[in-house]
Structure 1
Amino acid sequence: MARSARLESGFQDRLIANLKTIFPGCMVFKMNQRQGIPDLLILYGKKWASLECKKSASAKRQPNQEYYVGKMNEMSFSRFISPENKEEVLDELRKTLQP
């Protein structure tokens, strides 16, 4: 595994643990079946969100990622998340998912 993939994977694993703490009982699925689909799907109560994990804010975005993050954001909530914007995105996510 390339170093950048390991960095993103480590960030993603820590993020999943954070999400499960913030949203007790949530379900988090890794979604890597189709190019461009965000990495994580979070189900919480009657709401859902998706997150595309990046190792840094300047990391390259793959084809279709902008499209799918935008489309899923129109439906519910979707963001690109990296260590640099993690707290901001999690704050927005709390406001969206919590009753």
Structure 2
Amino acid sequence: MARSSRLESGFQDRLIESLKALFPGCMVFKMDQIQGLPDLLILYGEKWASLECKRSATAKKRPNQDYYVEKMNDMSFSRFVCPENKEEVLNELQQAFQP
């Protein structure tokens, strides 16, 4: 596995742990079937969100990623997340998941 993929994977694993701690009982699925779909789908109560993990704020985006993140954000909540904006995104997600 390439170094950048390992870095992103490690960040993603830590992010999943944070999500499960913040949202007890949530379900987190890794989504890698269709190119461009966000990496994670989070189901929490009657709400859902998707997150595209990046190893850094300057990491390149793959084809269709902007499209899917924007489309899914229009439907519910979707963001690009990296170590530099993780806290901000988790705060926004907490607001989105409030009843």
Could you tell me the TM-score, scaled by structure 2's length? 0.99
Deviations 1:40-97 (A, max 9, x none): 0000000000000000000000000000000000000000000000000000000001
C-alpha root-mean-square deviation of aligned residues, in Å?
A: 0.3
Aligned residue type for 1:97: F
Could you tell me the TM-score, scaled by structure 1's length? 0.99
TM superposition shift of 1:98: 2.2
How many pairs are equivalent? 99
Counterpart CA distance in 2 for 1:61 and 1:18 is 23
Q: Any unmatched runs of 5+ in structure 2?
A: none
Q: Any unmatched runs of 5+ in structure 1?
A: none
Identity %: 77
Paired residue for 2:31? 31
Paired residue for 2:4? 4
Counterpart mapping for 1:57-72 below 5 A? 57-72=57-72
TM superposition shift of 1:23: 0.1
